[in-house]
Amino acid sequence: MDRRTFIASLSAGGAVLLAKADASGIVSEDLAEEVEHMMFEEMQQGQGQAQRPARKTFIEKEKEMTPLPAKPTLEDIFNLRLPKFIFSHCVQSANNALKRGLDEEVILACLLHDTGIALDSPDHGYRGAALIKPYVSEKVHWAIRHHQALRFFPDPDVGYEYPESYYRSFGKEYKPEPYIQADYKYARNHKWYMNSRLVTMMDEYSFDREEVVTLEPFLDIIGRHFKQPKEGLGWDNTESSYMWRTIIWPHRPL
């Protein structure tokens, strides 16, 4: 029996954790540790004697992380806190937009479009938009919020097709939820439709995990279009400060 099958067979909780890992594509250290801990708990119940490994406290885990400056900028969060796969995917999307000579606000939207996944996968477009809302123009916020719905709907006029990978993730028969369909219809007729559509178009070709990318080409655009708070992200008391703190301190138990 392989490890996955073994974990999934232990309990409903184990299966839920695995499903979460599959859906997000991210198996975090925390998740792996949670699964391992659950395994030992189940074994103890079954055998009454297995030794539980010592669990690290969040303080110990934070000591192992690269410290952030006291007033973290977007660049700091990207370089020191975003999971590598999100960093790489977002920067590749923005690179595509830069190469195409797209508008700076579209390039910024591409750069930020999947940062919401650092918090959780479901509704990542809505979450990511809420995360950056206090710091960008309404147009950038709008493009990020609606890219999630637009991903499900082809637009042959601009050569955007339904993503092949969604057949694997959602199944062939999947129909987007009514709120996604409604948001698509709304976005399709909106004056900023193309901004969000371009995010989905740059998105599709940006999953090369081997490509080495940096934030360097985007620092000027960030400087012009992202309102960096003087207190630092997380500490400026906006409606999304708590989300930035979650990214800064991903191990805090509560």
Contact between residue 26 and residue 84 where contact means Cβ atoms under 8 Å apart: no
Residue (114 or 183) nearer to Fe ion, CB: 114
Shortest separation between residue 187's beta carbon and Fe ion, angstroms: 14
Shortest separation between residue 139's beta carbon and Fe ion, angstroms: 18
Shortest separation between residue 117's beta carbon and Fe ion, angstroms: 7
**Three-state secondary structure readout of 107-174:** HHHHHHCCHHHHCCCCCHHHHHHHHHHHHCCHHHHHHHHHHHHHCCCCEHHHCECCCHHHHHHHCCCC
Shortest separation between residue 128's beta carbon and Fe ion, angstroms: 8
Burial class for 75, CB neighbours closer than 10 Å (0-12, 13-18, 19+): middle
Nearest to 233 by CA among 218, 222, 248: 248
Strand partners, 155: 160
CA dist., res. 19 & res. 25, Å (int) = 10
Residue (84 or 230) nearer to Fe ion, CB: 84
Shortest separation between residue 199's beta carbon and Fe ion, angstroms: 8
Please list, in sequence order, all residues whose beta carbon lies within 8 angstroms of the beta carbon of residue 222, skipping any fewer than 6 positions away. 74, 75, 108, 111, 215, 228
Residue (105 or 203) nearer to Fe ion, CB: 203
Angle ∠(68,71,75) on CA atoms, nearest 5: 65
Residue (122 or 223) nearer to Fe ion, CB: 122
Residue (32 or 158) nearer to Fe ion, CB: 158
Shortest separation between residue 99's beta carbon and Fe ion, angstroms: 17
Shortest separation between residue 52's beta carbon and Fe ion, angstroms: 38
Burial class for 207, CB neighbours closer than 10 Å (0-12, 13-18, 19+): middle
Interface residues with Fe ion (CB under 5 A)?
A: 114, 203
Residue (39 or 77) nearer to Fe ion, CB: 77
Residue (44 or 169) nearer to Fe ion, CB: 169
